[in-house]
Amino acid sequence: MNTTNGIDSALAQMRAVATQVTPQGAAASQPASGQGFADALGDALRDVSAQQARGDQLKRRLDTDPDLALQDVVIELSKASLSFQMMVQVRERLVSAYREVMSMQI
């Protein structure tokens, strides 16, 4: 079981979003991949939600499934926690950027 698969996919999505940011004054157009910022952010949120659901499911199964290893549950819960913390930081950066743009004088 590859324990970093979810984190790697979230990181790849964040890198893809970072490459889609256009400099100020550049024409705002859809990226060649056809996925905009909102779509990438939505995908990342769905991935975080799915990661948390997997962790919760494994936590519930821990009591009844003797074949389930405790370390697998702890790893999944840690991945879910890290993914959530990463999304909170992204949200904070977005809110900060929004406030900065809104306070700019024209």
Domain interval for residue 55: 35-106
Is residue 19 assigned to a domain? Answer: no
Q: Would the pTM of this model clear 0.95, i.e. be above it? A: no
pLDDT digits (tens, 9 = 90+) for 37-76: 788 888 888 999 999 999 999 998 988 888 888 998 999 9
- At residue 85, the pLDDT reads 93
Alpha helices in 1-106 (DSSP H): 5-20, 37-61, 70-102
Which residue type does 83 have?
S
Structure tokens, 77: 């819960």
pLDDT band, very low/low/confident/very high, at 23 (cuts 50, 70, 90)? very low
Is residue 25 assigned to a domain? Answer: no
Which is nearest to 47 in space by CA: 78, 75, 83? 83
Is residue 13 assigned to a domain? Answer: no
> What's the total number of domains in the chain?
1
Is residue 83 assigned to a domain? Answer: yes
| Three-class DSSP labels, 20-48 | HCCCCCCCCCCCCCCCCHHHHHHHHHHHH
Is residue 21 assigned to a domain? Answer: no
